[in-house]
Amino acid sequence: MNFMAVSIGRRCWFSSSPPSACSSSLPWISPLQMLKAALPKPDPPPETTTTTIDTRRKPKYISHESAINLIKRERDPKHALEIFNMVAEQNGFNHNGATYATILDKLARSKKFEAIDAVLHQMTYETCKFHEGVFLNLMKHFSKSSLHERVLKMFYAIQPYVREKPSLKAISTCLNLLVESNQINLAREFLLHTKKSLNLRPNTCIFNILVKHHCKSRDLESAFEVVNEMKKSKISYPNLITYSTLMDGLCESGRLKEAIDLFEEMVSKDQILPDALTYNILINGFCRGGKVDRARKVMEFMKSNGCSPNVFNYSALMNGFCKEGRVQEAKELFHEMKSSGLKPDTIGYTTLINCFCRAGKIDEATELLKEMKERECRADTVTFNVILKGLCGEGKFEEALDMLEKLPYDGVYLNKASYRIVLNFLCQKGELKRATELLDLMLGRGFVPHYATSNELLFHLCKANMADDAAIAMFGLVEMGFKPEPDSWAHVLELVCRERRLLSAFELLDELVC
């Protein structure tokens, strides 16, 4: 059945006639009925005076709740839509807001946008109650697909379908999606529309979105202008999020003194107490600015004022110590975090592992990796890439290659960077035999080296007169779509010809030309 020709409810998708004008082309039928229809009919029983009782079961009625579960479990959006249509063929069944919300979410996740339009068109004929959450969900999906005009369209659809004005939540959601996508012109158009047609009085949440946009654009003066406007209104006075966003913008711009002044204004003047996230902004700011001791004082101030540091606070400060090479202090901070009852997460462990690797303490780094496994804290790709870089930095290529070989069989995901890190080191250190073995492993797993590294490897193989390895490497790379620099394949061809392997030279040249 054609996907776009599937009927919805009791109407065809593209029909503009009333519901009764078009019947479904796919009637609902019980699996039991289908089975009975396929079996040969038995001979009729002999006539008797006994009354015959019809023992056939009636099709099971599918409720709204069951229909929702069936649609959710169905992976194929086409089949999900068929289920949606078939249940509507039951006598006495009418779709409600929940079933419509479920099928729309299923179609949106699969990016079946034309199908969504058809379902929305069908909804205009329904009398059931719809909620704006359906449209907020669609707005988010359209934003992810960069269909920004349709984000606005979904917002404007709220009032006709829901029969109520959009809430402030809907307004802030739409504005935030547009601002996050850098659709500033659409955001301005949207604000003008809401101000005129909805008589909008922006609340703190809406103003905060604008403050975030200006800080993200490094336009701090405009951000402060918005905050000044907020202070004039009782319903939109700056809150903790407003101040935290401004402080983050100031720290990102290196204006640390102004960030501290704003922090003090927030606490003393507006009586707003900071949380762990606000403190983390200052800790990160000082660490980025190379003032890790000031960051440490922020954490001490945090503790003395009754706000317990969390894992993110400790990780940020540890990272600051690591960047300055102060390994022992980072290690002490890690133990302090554990002794305070906090369970280190992947970020915390990876931060300290990176610190050990940069200091050349690879043994301590691998011990931490073992501790992660014992404590059931799953190391991610970033963690393993840090370890691989540390091993190669210490010349422990065998261990690095062994990890690359075995980790995928242990269920660990490695990305192209994992292989490239090791290959780059091997090329730099002239470990050409190991480099060609790793290249073979990479290509076999579908990973292609960096363009510059590939050319460098070919060049070094030619320089070392490794004709066979150079030709094999060239063939493998070209098959994966790699286009070598003219100098690289010229060197390979020259080397192969010098070895009087003309057949190989012709095959290689043919591969390159094709």
* Residue after which a domain boundary falls, among 107, 129, 151: 129
- DSSP type of residue 400: H
Is the same domain home to 511 and 489?
Answer: yes
- pLDDT surpasses 50 at 365: yes
Domain membership flag for residue 27: yes
Spatial separation of the C-alpha atoms in residues 240 and 218, rounded to whole Å: 20
Domain membership flag for residue 471: yes
Is the same domain home to 4 and 94?
Answer: yes
Average pLDDT over all residues of the chain: 83
pTM: 0.67
State the pLDDT confidence band at 107, using cuts at 50, 70 and 90: very high
Per-residue pLDDT of 473-482, as tens digits, reads: 777 877 777 7
- pLDDT surpasses 90 at 191: no
Is the same domain home to 2 and 125?
Answer: yes
360-388: average pLDDT: 93
- pLDDT surpasses 60 at 16: no
- Whether 382 contacts 350, CB under 8 Å: yes
Helices 432-444, 451-463: crossing angle, 10 deg rounding: 140
Q: Which of 195-199, 335-339, 369-373 has the lowest mean pLDDT?
A: 195-199
Domain membership flag for residue 67: yes
Domain membership flag for residue 96: yes
Measured distance between the N- and C-terminal CA atoms of the chain, rounded to whole angstroms: 42
Residue that is written with structure tokens 């809406």 in the block = 206
Per-residue pLDDT of 483-503, as tens digits, reads: 666 666 566 666 666 655 444
Domain membership flag for residue 274: no
Residue that is written with structure tokens 């090791």 in the block = 422
Domain membership flag for residue 119: yes
- Whether 185 contacts 194, CB under 8 Å: no
Long-range CB contacts (within 8 A, 24+) of 133-137: 133/101, 134/97, 134/100, 134/101, 134/104, 134/161, 135/161, 135/162, 135/170, 136/169, 136/170, 136/173, 137/101, 137/104, 137/105, 137/108
Spatial separation of the C-alpha atoms in residues 82 and 65, rounded to whole Å: 16
Residue 416: HSE in the Cβ half-sphere, 13 Å Cα cutoff: 8
Spatial separation of the C-alpha atoms in residues 19 and 259, rounded to whole Å: 62
| 11: β partners | 8
In the chain, the number of structural domains is: 3
Residue that is written with structure tokens 């790699």 in the block = 482
Contact partners, residue 271, CB within 8 Å, separation at least 6: none
Q: If residue 507 lies in a helix (H) or strand (E), which one and from where to where?
A: helix 502-513
Residue that is written with structure tokens 């303490």 in the block = 361
Collapsed DSSP state (helix, strand, coil) of residue 11: strand
State the pLDDT confidence band at 57, using cuts at 50, 70 and 90: low
Per-residue pLDDT of 116-134, as tens digits, reads: 999 999 999 998 999 999 9
* Residue after which a domain boundary falls, among 389, 404, 437: 437
Is the same domain home to 426 and 476?
Answer: no
Is the same domain home to 122 and 16?
Answer: yes
Is the same domain home to 465 and 394?
Answer: no
Spatial separation of the C-alpha atoms in residues 347 and 314, rounded to whole Å: 10
Highest mean pLDDT range out of 384-398, 424-438, 464-478? 384-398
- pLDDT surpasses 90 at 274: yes
State the pLDDT confidence band at 115, using cuts at 50, 70 and 90: very high
What per-residue confidence (pLDDT) applies to 190? Answer: 86
Residue 419 belongs to what domain range? 380-437
Spatial separation of the C-alpha atoms in residues 304 and 289, rounded to whole Å: 24
Is the same domain home to 417 and 456?
Answer: no
Burial of residue 478 (CB within 10 Å: 0-12, 13-18, 19+) is: middle
Q: Is the dihedral of CA 81, 87, 89, 94 positive or negative?
A: negative
What per-residue confidence (pLDDT) applies to 388? Answer: 96
What per-residue confidence (pLDDT) applies to 291? Answer: 94
- pLDDT surpasses 70 at 40: no
279-301: average pLDDT: 95
264-277: average pLDDT: 93
Q: Which residue has the higher pLDDT, 426 or 40?
A: 426
- pLDDT surpasses 70 at 42: no
Work out the percent of the chain whose per-residue pLDDT is above 90.
Answer: 54
The pair of three-digit structure tokens given for residue 309, joined into one six-digit string: 């540091």
What per-residue confidence (pLDDT) applies to 14? Answer: 31
Is the same domain home to 426 and 480?
Answer: no
* Residue after which a domain boundary falls, among 95, 129, 163: 129
Q: How far is CA 20 from CA 11, 79, 84, 120, in A?
A: 7, 24, 18, 19
Is the same domain home to 430 and 461?
Answer: no
Burial of residue 450 (CB within 10 Å: 0-12, 13-18, 19+) is: middle
Contact partners, residue 214, CB within 8 Å, separation at least 6: 220, 222, 223, 226, 249
199-207: average pLDDT: 81
Is the same domain home to 469 and 499?
Answer: yes
Spatial separation of the C-alpha atoms in residues 394 and 201, rounded to whole Å: 62
- pLDDT surpasses 90 at 390: yes
Domain membership flag for residue 391: yes
Per-residue pLDDT of 221-249, as tens digits, reads: 989 998 998 888 777 899 999 999 999 99
Is the same domain home to 405 and 504?
Answer: no
Domain membership flag for residue 177: no
Work out the percent of the chain whose per-residue pLDDT is above 70.
Answer: 82
- pLDDT surpasses 90 at 76: yes
Rounded to 5 degrees, what angle do the CA atoms 490, 493, 495 make? 105
Is the same domain home to 405 and 497?
Answer: no
